[in-house]
Amino acid sequence: MNNALLVIPAIKKNAVIPDQLIKKLNGITLIQRAINIAKKLTNNILIVTDSQEISLIAKRNNIEFYFDNKLAIDSSTIIEIVKEIVKDKKQKYILLYRANAPLVNSTILKEAYQEFLLDTKYILSSVKTLGKQIFEYKNDNLVNIENNYFIELKAFYIFEKKSENIKYKSFVIDEEHSIEIENYQDWWICEKILQRKKIIFNVIGSIKIGMGHIYHSLSLAHEITDHEIIFVCDEQYEIAVERIAMMDYKVIATSNVQKTIIDLNPDMVINDILNTNLEYIKSLKQNNIKVVNFEDLGSGVQKADLVINELYDVPQLKGNNFLWGYEYLALRDEFEDAKPHIFEDNVISVLITFGGTDQNNLTLVTLKSIIKLAQEQNIKIYIVCGGGYNFKEELELYLNHHNYKNIELTYSVGVISQIMEQTQIAFSSNGRTVYELADMNIPAVIISHHEREDGHTFASLEKGFITLGVYDKDKTSSLINNKFEKLVLDNDYRKLLFLNISKYSFRENKKKVVKKILELI
């Protein structure tokens, strides 16, 4: 921008808030914030002011200033007055930048200047979208006007110093950055935005791994409302990317997760990716990024600021940066208002759910094992499969050909709490669903998909669960049949499990976990 002069008008008498320009916004005065942004673009800076105090600030920043205590500028005269003041300056172009739009940063100004250079015969003016529908009366009817409307944002003008042209061209500022301080409410909103930190969730999800990491991270993200949230996923996890995008979070799929994260310059990274490696975590820490890991037993835990292993009740590693056990298990949002069971003498319905992907098709294995007794006892079977379930055709073919029809199948995991409210027992894999069942007071038979999942030890008889270990294609089916029969026909046994499981509730854990995380920033 060597051929441009950046002019900051700082007219004290125009302030809408007393001493607005020298009042601190998130710890920095408006005028100093504008100076800092200007310095990122050029050394050719001029402050035009009617204030001796602001003149002193300019002097202390080694910035040229024009002082006139009688100076009067408004929107209709600002361009012509500035042209007159700078007429002897050597620069050809003027970027007139106002401090009262503090969210318009150097990146936006640089992009605007590049656009201005494409056609310098126009005055480039910052605008924002109206953001509301406009109506007019036609024949006594209220009719929506379809055209796009913009309103002036008093952030900047860019123009040629000697041009007499008064034609304008707009540069649209996005909604988040288009706040102009015109009252105390605007001030408060700007301050809240400036206080926001950038938090990145690095998550995984696939048919093999399952969807638990995605739902867990989304649940935490929903709770963090004061900061910017971005999800970053390895591009191989298409399921994760699609699911997160459905929730309207910004999600970036990349072939190089580490580089993408560092380029985004976040304040914190939350890794929900199972084991991390040391080099990856060290690279984040070297860039002054706070690091929180979930369900992590890898070498990266050595350098992480906080590691929350809520699925492991018995510590697997030593260190002061660990939190272990079910006290840190955060339930999904849909369980906040769900109604836990009271004991019922009869089993009226049963739930079958084996995660978002169910790579072993335990859903169908279980269904085949229990359907005979369920039909004899007229027990309704609820089946919940996730979006990554790859055996739909096989499952639906079996259901269509079986004569027992008191079965309800859904692929919508987001309503599982409602279904749990109606089921007295369940069959599930050994992930986060175990804790949801415990919170709902539902005794369950637990089958692990793999050895790592089998290391989650919360599911046990003393907590109200029957565990069958890792799935074995030769043994699991008959074990399922036996345990289902025990739960259905032995009321005393089921009541004992119910009493064990009803001791546990996880509803306050999420706030506690989020509080621990945010304390780091």
pLDDT, residue 163, reads 84
- In sequence order, the β-bridge partners of residue 382 are 351, 408
Cα torsion angle, 147, 152, 155, 158, sign = positive
Residue 38 corresponds to which amino acid? Answer: A
Instruction: Give Cα 373 distance to the centre of its chain.
Output: 44
3-state secondary structure of 168: strand
For the chain, give every domain's residue range.
Answer: 4-194, 198-330+513-518, 335-501
Give the long-range contacts of residues 105-110, CB within 8 A, separation 24 or more. 105/37, 105/177, 106/37, 106/38, 106/40, 106/41, 108/173, 108/177, 109/37, 109/41, 109/156, 110/1, 110/41
Taking each helix axis from N to C end, the angle separating 30-39 and 52-60, rounded to the nearest 10 degrees, works out to 40
pLDDT, residue 146, reads 62
pLDDT, residue 413, reads 66
Instruction: For the chain of 521 residues, list the mean pLDDT of each consecutive stretch of 10.
Output: 93 88 94 97 96 95 95 87 93 96 96 95 91 74 73 93 87 91 93 94 82 86 92 88 85 94 97 95 97 95 95 90 93 89 95 89 96 97 88 95 95 84 96 93 95 88 96 95 96 96 92 95 91
pLDDT, residue 47, reads 97
pLDDT, residue 152, reads 87
Q: How many CB atoms lie within 10 A of CB 461?
A: 12
Rg for the chain, CA atoms, rounded: 31
Separation between Cα atoms, residue 47 and residue 71, nearest integer Å = 13
CA 409-411-414 angle, to 5 degrees, is 115
Separation between Cα atoms, residue 246 and residue 261, nearest integer Å = 21
Question: Is the CB of residue 340 less than 8 Å from the CB of residue 422?
Answer: no
CB crowding 195-217: b at 16 or more within 10 Å, else e: eebbbbbbbbbbeebbbbbbbbb
Architecture of domain 4-194: Alpha-Beta Complex (3.90)
Separation between Cα atoms, residue 271 and residue 202, nearest integer Å = 5
CB crowding 162-192: b at 16 or more within 10 Å, else e: ebeeeeeeebebeeebbbbbeeeebbeebee
pLDDT, residue 64, reads 96
Tokens 């009271």 — which residue?
A: 342
Evaluate whether 198-330+513-518 and 335-501 have a shared fold: yes
DSSP letter for each residue of 25-88 = ETTEEHHHHHHHHHHTT-S-EEEEES-HHHHHHHHHTT-EEEE-TT----TTTHHHHHHHHTTT
Q: Which CATH class is domain 335-501?
A: alpha beta
HSE (side-chain half, CA atoms, 13 Å) at 168:
12
Query: CATH number of the domain at 198-330+513-518, out of 3.40.50.150, 3.40.50.11190, 3.90.25.10, 3.40.50.12780?
Result: 3.40.50.11190
pLDDT, residue 147, reads 62
Q: Which segments of 68-205 does DSSP mark as H helices, in order?
A: 78-85, 106-118, 184-194
